[in-house]
Amino acid sequence: MPKKSERTRQRIVEAANRLFYHKGYNRTSFSDVVQAASVPRGNIYYYFKTKDEILEAAIAYRTERISQMLENWNGDYRTPIERLHRFLDILTNSADSIMRYGCPMGTLNTELGKDQDALQEQAENLFKVFEAWLSDQFAELGYAGRAHELAQRLMSHGQGISVMAHVHNDPAFLNREKAQLGLWLDRLADGNDDCA
């Protein structure tokens, strides 16, 4: 069982992670994190001296969760096409959050990319974890020479769908576009190497 101090730190990181997604990094204050984590204000400085340090911990937390999820998918799904379709399910499984807040990775990178390059570079790693995993799936599907290109194409289409679904608050659009991506993946799996 984790020590009390580790549990408190984790509670702060999880609360900050939610706030950074829901409110944005720059609009989230130390006071917001203190309140959401239910810790005395003085205690937070024991764990984190700056908000940037909290963000770094939140990115590490997200990265670890994503890596664990992808590892589980590798065990749960037998073929790369099944795993790729499971990836697409993120869109519909997260539809309510996407409608309200957008994609958690995309919104964070967009916000930080405006004038906080060092922080955005860390947030970019969230995409890189997915891109590496997706590249592995496309390589296993028979597209080793173009695996990274196809991974980025799938990620970019997913991000575009998330943005448009968020802007228009339109779950029907999200479902329709996800289905089109699924058809593209199936065509690739059948050896039909056309563009999405």
Instruction: Give the pLDDT confidence of 11-31 residue by residue, as tens digits.
Output: 999 999 999 999 999 999 999
The structure tokens listed for 1 are 């069982």
Residue of 101, 174, 170, 85 whose CA lies nearest to 134: 85
Domains and CATH numbers, the chain: 55-189 (1.10.357.10)
Q: What is the DSSP string of 6-23?
A: HHHHHHHHHHHHHHHHHT
- Please state the rounded mean pLDDT for residues 61-69: 97
Instruction: Give the pLDDT confidence of 117-142 residue by residue, as tens digits.
Output: 999 999 999 999 999 999 999 999 99
Those residues whose C-beta lies under 8 Å from the C-beta of residue 109, and which sit 6 or more positions away, are 120, 123, 124, 126, 127
- 136 within 8 A of 147, measured Cβ to Cβ: yes
Sign of CA dihedral 121, 124, 126, 130: negative
Q: The whole model's pTM is what?
A: 0.92
- What values do phi and psi take at 92, rounded to 5? -80, -35
- What values do phi and psi take at 29, rounded to 5? -100, 165
Helices 51-76, 30-37: crossing angle, 10 deg rounding? 50
